Structure 1
């Protein structure tokens, strides 16, 4: 599982039938800044993830990948390898807040 920020969406009118009606979002994984460890910074990568929660652009979300992405009731029969399983409200590291949705 990892934290990512929603940076966009994907529209695909031609796809396998099981994917019809599923929202696809572009997500960019984030990590803890290495030296000061006081903020989240991008990893510079992007993924496409199925949104099961109604996340929006700029939200920080929890992502699971691989076979684990198909372990939710909503995704068990989908041909996917990344799914949004949570919308992040706050991140605390070493008793300090490094992110707050407020």
Structure 2
């Protein structure tokens, strides 16, 4: 899994039929300190994440282990919305603080 920040949405009206109704998000990957990496990724969203939220992303074959995704051609899947992140007993992200 990796931490990422939701930067936007991706809309695709023409896609594989197994992806009908699936919401796609544009994510910017973050390093272990919460700094943005130069990489972006598109991921399917199963948890209803929104722009500017930090999320957990499952990638590769693990993205297809979630119920309902087994037969979908997914490389990345948002599997959680992050509430807090701490490192070395220091809180460096809190969803509550970022909403203000």
- TM class by shorter-chain length? over 0.9
- The aligned residue for residue 98 of structure 1 is 92
With the length of structure 2 as denominator, give the TM-score of the two structures: 0.93
Q: Identify the match of residue 51 of structure 1 among 29, 45, 56.
A: 45
Q: Following TM superposition, by how much is the alpha carbon of 1:77 offset from its aligned partner in structure 2, in angstroms?
A: 1.3
- The aligned residue for residue 73 of structure 1 is 67
Structure 1 runs, 4 residues or longer, greater than 4 Å off: none
SS of the residue corresponding to residue 25 of structure 2 reads: strand
- Whether the aligned pair in 2 keeps the contact of 1:61 and 1:86 (CA below 8 Å) is yes
SS of the residue corresponding to residue 32 of structure 1 reads: coil
The structure whose residues are more often helix, as a share, is 2
> Counterparts of 2:43 and 2:90 in 1: how far apart (Å)?
29
SS of the residue corresponding to residue 67 of structure 1 reads: helix
Q: Which runs of 5+ in 1 are unaligned?
A: 34-39
- The aligned residue for residue 13 of structure 1 is 13
Query: Deviation per CA, 1:59-102, whole angstroms, max 9, x where unpaired?
Result: 10000100110000031111010000110000010000010001
CA RMSD of aligned residues (A): 0.7
The question of 1:42 aligning with 2:36 is answered yes
Q: How many equivalent residue pairs?
A: 96
Q: Following TM superposition, by how much is the alpha carbon of 1:32 offset from its aligned partner in structure 2, in angstroms?
A: 2.6
> Counterparts of 1:32 and 1:71 in 2: how far apart (Å)?
25
- Whether the aligned pair in 2 keeps the contact of 1:4 and 1:29 (CA below 8 Å) is yes
- The aligned residue for residue 37 of structure 1 is none
